[in-house]
Structure formats: structure tokens, C-alpha cells
Amino acid sequence: MDFTLEKYSALLDALKAYGFQGLIMRHDVDLRPRNSLRTARMEAEKGIKGIYYFRAVPESWDEGIIKEIASLGHEIGYHYESLTTCKGDVDKAYDDFCRNLEALRSLVPVRSICMHGSPRSPWDSKDIWKKYDYHVLGIENEPYLDTDFSQVFYLTDTGRRWDGFKVSVRDKIPEYQDQWTKQGLTFHSTDDILKSLAAGTFPRNVMFTVHPQRWNPLGPAWCKELLMQNAKNLIKRVLVNRQ
């Protein structure tokens, strides 16, 4: 059974024991922020720090949880989707981005931003930065734009699988994915990652993206997430094939 809290705990233990040169644990809080609080507490107990990106929508934005996750020693970032919410208007999107960033900074320090994929949207919110510069706002990095993926391997649980780039619309690194695949760096399940870590064949510089909504105790919530994500993956596959 994958994507249980027990499996996530095992993954964290294996990651902590591995000899990484660099490890970034990124978390996209798309939905169910209480799941993120649960993983944040688990990581803090194990001495692991990460960054949690919150969307400016009710299903993600929980001010109490944002503050508590920050109090555990994790960093908080803004998971922006302004070009989608502003229907492609770049100027309005930038204003929307700035308002939401200011609101989040009224709760906790924010130095990092990360685009929310919005797979059904025709707009890519990273395109805001073709006109504007987020660095002038005191933002230090946007993982998709400021990471040297020739040196950093990227792995995401998008699609409730670790090879979700096959069905993902935007949460992938197409410039390097073929190269990683040729090197055998494809993992479907968490057990596949655990085996590679145990064998010492896992890359030493890695960025993980975790969606805590997908990790649940075995039970109704786990089953619901499995069924919903399988349905979403079918839709995503159609959108990817159209592209």
C-alpha cells in the first residue's frame, strides 16, 4: 500500500540516512492543509526541514496552520496561480500576486514562490515573469526558474505516483526528463525509491515535491484520494496528448 503515512515515515527515515550532497523537500499545499500540518510535524520530529507552498484559495489558505508549520522550523512559500485566476491578463495577475504575497507575509516571512500548475488552465503563471521581476519583491527563488536541473534531479508525486511526469501538464522538467529516463532514474512507487536509496544508486542532489493531500492513513480518505487521482490522471493524459 503506497501513499500511507507509514510509507511516508519510512521514506523520510531513508532520506535522512542517505548521504545527500543536497536535498530540497518541497511541499505543495494544494488542498487539505491539515494533511500538510501532519507531514510537517512528522518531518520536524525527525529533524527534517522543508518548504511548504500555500495557495491563496480557501481550500489551501489556513492561517493557523501556516503559522504552526512555520513554528516547526519549516519555510513558508507562496504557491501562485495568478495568471490563471486573472484569465491571462499579465498586469492584473502581477497585482493579484503582489496582494497575495503581502497577505502571506503579514503572517510569516516569505522568500520563495512556486507556480501552481492548474492543469486545466491554458495559462502558465510563470509567464508573469517574462514581463515582471519577482526578485525586486524580495523573493529569492522560484524553483522552476532558479534551479539548475543539470545538477539537481527532480522527483514529484504528481498523479499519486513518482513517474507522474507522464501525465503531468506542467509539474515536470522536460529539458532533462529524457536524460534522466535514459539513466534509469524513473521511479513509480515509493518502494522503488526506497530500494534505490538502500542500494546507494539514488542521486545525491535532489529536489522532491510532495503533495501532502495524497498521503493518508489507510482508510476512507486514502481510498477517496486513490479513486479521485486515478480519474484526474485520465483527464491529464488527454490534455498532455493534445499538447
CATH of the domain at 67: 3.20.20
Backbone angles phi, psi at 114, to 5 degrees: -155, 135
pTM assigned to the model: 0.93
CA-CA distance, 140 to 95, in Å (whole number)? 19
Residue range 208-238, pLDDT digits in tens: 999 999 999 999 888 999 888 877 766 655 4
Q: Are 12 and 46 in contact (CB under 8 A)?
A: yes
Q: Which pLDDT belongs to residue 242?
A: 56
Total number of domains constituting the chain:
1
Residue 67 carries which DSSP code?
Answer: H
Residue range 17-61, pLDDT digits in tens: 999 999 999 999 999 999 999 999 999 999 999 999 999 999 999
Q: Which domain holds residue 105?
A: 5-242
